[in-house]
Amino acid sequence: MKYLITYDIQNDKRRKKISDELEAFGYRVNYSVFECELNHTKLKRLKEKLEELVDIKTDSLRFYHICENCIPKSFELCNKGEVFEKQDFFI
């Protein structure tokens, strides 16, 4: 399942921790926006980790489920990769 995850976190330290968690599960496409491919297990694990970090009174953390039929209809107006394009990482 594909998700677009966005956040608005006021606290710098908390924002960094949340950003690090999201980078472990997906690709940053904007400063506070990630595209993630998550199965049920990964989604549950990510949600649990983020629930420990987020302050529900001041922060905003949103998950948007993107259906497979919507991906071909998505586009970008710049020279970046395709929406939800898989990238190879070498360590």
pLDDT in tens, 14-49: 999 999 999 999 999 899 999 999 999 999 999 999
Residue partners of 87: CB distance under 8 A and separation at least 6: 27, 81
Q: How far apart are CA 61 and CA 9, in angstroms?
A: 8
Count of other CB atoms within 10 angstroms of residue 68: 9
55 is in an annotated binding site: no
Instruction: Look up the pTM and report it.
Output: 0.79
Domains and CATH numbers, the chain: 2-73 (3.30.70.240)
Q: Give the pLDDT band (50/70/90) at residue 88.
A: low
